[in-house]
Amino acid sequence: MPSQIETRLADLGVTLPDAAAPAANYVPYVQVGDLVFVSGQVSMDENGLIKGKLGADMDVDGGVAAARRCAIMLLAQARAACGGDLDRLTRVVKLTGFVNSTDTFGDQPKVINGCSDFLVEVLGDAGRHSRSAVSAASLPFGVAVEVEAIFQIS
């Protein structure tokens, strides 16, 4: 039987991918007590990495879409941390979003809203969180967005 969260995702037309393997010497998540710290998830979809630099070759709408994909990847990691049962996810505690952007681009918060809004759409009040949204001169593999998260699980 699918979890309530996966049912909600299906209602939105979203199927979570398998959790991505680490691209370097780190683990995808660490659990400490009831908190799960998920390593940064880069913007990618079924076609591969979503690359770009906000303020140069990508606009805010493209960045929002890339950040939404980061949210999907974060949930895939959370599902893995929960042993496949996303209903164990009780709250999104904190997001830190990194936006590959020019030095004159100032809409990082709007871009990271793509991740935040999606998590609230899926999880309701449990998706509301504290957050940082910062600029980065570059990100791994040239991706547009990377987001890390702290989740609370039962």
Q: Three-class SS of residue 52? A: coil
Phi (first) and psi of residue 24, to 5 degrees: -155, -155
CB within 8 A of 8, min separation 6: which ones? 122, 123
Tokens for 128, please give them.
């509301």
Q: Tell me, what's the pLDDT at 1?
A: 66
Q: Tell me, what's the pLDDT at 102?
A: 98
Please tell me the pTM assigned to this model: 0.97
Q: Tell me, what's the pLDDT at 141?
A: 96
Note the CATH architecture for domain 4-9+31-141+148-153. 2-Layer Sandwich (3.30)
**% of the chain at pLDDT higher than 70:** 99
Q: Tell me, what's the pLDDT at 3?
A: 83
| CA 105 – CA 86 distance, rounded (Å) | 36
| CA 58 – CA 52 distance, rounded (Å) | 6
What is the chain's pLDDT, residue by residue, as a tens digit (154 residues)? Answer: 678 999 999 999 999 999 999 989 999 999 999 999 999 999 999 999 999 999 999 999 999 999 999 999 999 999 999 999 999 999 999 999 999 999 999 999 999 999 999 999 999 999 999 999 999 999 999 999 999 999 999 9
Exposure class string for 80-98: b at 16+ Cβ within 10 A, else e: bbbeeebebbebbbebbbb
pLDDT tens digit sequence for 96-119: 999 999 999 999 999 999 999 999
Q: Tell me, what's the pLDDT at 2?
A: 72
Question: 52's torsion region: left (phi>0), alpha (psi -120 to 50) or beta?
Answer: left
Q: Tell me, what's the pLDDT at 87?
A: 95
> CA quadruple 77, 130, 23, 49: dihedral positive or negative?
positive
